[in-house]
Homo-oligomer: A and B are copies of this chain.
Amino acid sequence: MAKVRAVIVGGGFGGLRAAEELARHGCSVTLIDRNAYSTFQPLLYQVATGGLNPGDITYSLRSFTGRFRRTMRFRRATVTGIDTGQRRVITDVGDPIPYDYLVLAAGVGANYFGIPGAAEHARAIYTRAEALEVRDLVFGRIEALTVADPGSSVSMVVVGGGATGVEMAGALAEMKQQGLPIAYPEIAPDRVRIILVEMGPQLLAPFRRRLRNYTLKQVQKRGVDVRLNTGIEAVHADSVTLSDGTTEQADVVIWGAGIGGHSEVADWGLVQGAGGRLVVDDDLRASGQDRIFAVGDCAITPENPLPQVAQPAIQMGLHAARMILALEAGETTRPFAYADRGSMATIGRSAAVVELPVGPNLTGFPAWLAWVVLHLAYLLGGRNRIAAMVNLGFRYLMYPRSANAIIGDLDRDLPQLER
């Protein structure tokens, strides 16, 4: 019997789990990604705030496929179409790639919901490039304060009170409270403002009430101006209009408010649902397809929408791989069932929340420690794990004294702030 040819689109949590499982069971796997690296998205906010290097949270996909040399190949490419008739994936480089089964794990980007100016002026942190842009913009704006009028200020608006928004606002607040007085003694701390805007009545809505309350208190204690029950009407070059009619200065707008499928997905000829994501049946096959699966953030499951974090993607990737092996063995597919292993979010140094399906909630230092262990020891591997530990360890232990933030070539054309 000829080897089963599986093609995986996207080298994130879901794609890599599917690729590994299929390669281990003798399939011939081609992994496609637009980048030559996998990004550890849960720590991108650390890159965006200068705590980690981009290389600390990216992992060479060729190093991954090199572990399965006899069965796996990598192609760096963007998928431009799917020829379901001839079962071929068409990419922007090289010949079309034939498949017996296809696993789409393409991830998502920001969804601006058509809010005026948002796509133009707000910045997401779903990719390495976006995180670096936010980082150098944030530090560039603060840097510009040093030669601006002493009455001027910088305002950073984080949109969305989910994990992304809370972690980003928390990290910015820590920088303001601890790093700023050392690195920028000439800037009065109240010249840097951090606003967290959330449309609903609470932060981290999916968490239990005690954890939500703890989070709100911790974020506020760190100096973040939290605006609940507040939407964004419009984003302008240097301000935002809020749903209560007020306008706030906004030199950097970080968007953690919604996700949507990548625009290329529209060219793949599959059924798309809300936000352009791919509609899947309960066995994770793309609607109406018998050999195409979609997993992770790019898929919308028929039941309750799953959280857009690592665990569901990993479990979905594994399920898709197993269903492919089942189909090849002449069996039928089974529905996917998400096993909730709990959720966590970090607010800052020694402050985090952990919610487990059974057992007690965790907050504060124990939660923070659990977050560190899970992210650094379990999820990251090899060089990345140790390098990230070193950098975060220094940030934790030395921040007030060293403030040696990782920064890039700050935009030299930033306007001098005159407000």
Q: In the bound complex, how far is the Cα of B77 from the Cα of A405, in angstroms?
A: 19
Given contacts A147-B94, A383-B390, A387-B53, are A60 and B404 in contact (CB under 8 A)? yes
Given contacts A54-B53, A382-B402, A416-B93, are A63 and B183 in contact (CB under 8 A)? yes
A181 CB to nearest chain B CB (Å): 9
Q: Which residues of B have CB within 8 Å of A402?
A: 63, 382-383
Q: Which residues of B have CB within 8 Å of A186?
A: 73
A369 at the B interface (CB under 8 A): no
Residue of B nearest to A70 (CB): B185
Q: Are B35 and A409 touching (Cβ within 8 A)?
A: yes
A177 CB to nearest chain B CB (Å): 15
Q: Which residues of B have CB within 8 Å of A77?
A: 147
Residue of B nearest to A404 (CB): B63
A384 at the B interface (CB under 8 A): yes
Out of B73, B76, B147, name the residue touching A143 (CB < 8 Å): B76
A126 at the B interface (CB under 8 A): no
Q: Are B410 and A36 touching (Cβ within 8 A)?
A: yes
Which one of A78, A95, A391 has the highest number of Cβ atoms from chain B below 10 Å of its Cβ? Answer: A391
User: 1/0 contact trace for A380-419 toward B, CB 8 Å?
Assistant: 0011101100110010001000111111111010001000
Residue of B nearest to A59 (CB): B404
Q: Are B404 and A382 touching (Cβ within 8 A)?
A: yes
Out of B129, B183, B382, name the residue touching A409 (CB < 8 Å): B129
Q: Are A383 and B398 touching (Cβ within 8 A)?
A: yes
User: 1/0 contact trace for A166-200 toward B, CB 8 Å?
Assistant: 00000000000000001111100000000000000
With an 8 Å Cβ cutoff, the count of chain A residues facing the other chain is 56
A255 at the B interface (CB under 8 A): no
Q: Is the interface of A mostly helix, strand, loop or mixed?
A: mixed
Q: Are A407 and B53 touching (Cβ within 8 A)?
A: no
Given contacts A63-B405, A183-B63, A185-B66, are A76 and B382 in contact (CB under 8 A)? no
> Which of chain A's residues 122-163 have a Cβ closer than 8 Å to chain B?
128-129, 139, 143-144, 146-147
A58 at the B interface (CB under 8 A): yes
Q: In the bound complex, how far is the Cα of B348 from the Cα of A249, in angstroms?
A: 52
Q: Are B60 and A405 touching (Cβ within 8 A)?
A: yes
Q: Are A383 and B391 touching (Cβ within 8 A)?
A: yes
Q: Are A387 and B387 touching (Cβ within 8 A)?
A: yes
A24 at the B interface (CB under 8 A): no
A309 CB to nearest chain B CB (Å): 24
Q: A residues bordering B, Cβ < 8 Å?
A: 34-37, 53-56, 58-60, 62-63, 66, 69, 73-78, 93-95, 128-129, 139, 143-144, 146-147, 182-186, 382-384, 386-387, 390-391, 394, 398, 402-410, 412, 416
* Interchain residue pairs A-B with the least CB separation, the first 10: A94-B147, A55-B406, A53-B53, A62-B183, A383-B394, A53-B55, A63-B404, A66-B182, A60-B404, A93-B147
A-B contact pairs, 24 of them (CB 8 A): A35-B409, A37-B407, A53-B406, A59-B404, A60-B183, A60-B405, A62-B182, A63-B402, A63-B403, A63-B405, A66-B182, A69-B182, A74-B146, A76-B146, A76-B410, A77-B147, A383-B390, A383-B398, A383-B404, A384-B404, A386-B390, A387-B387, A387-B390, A387-B391
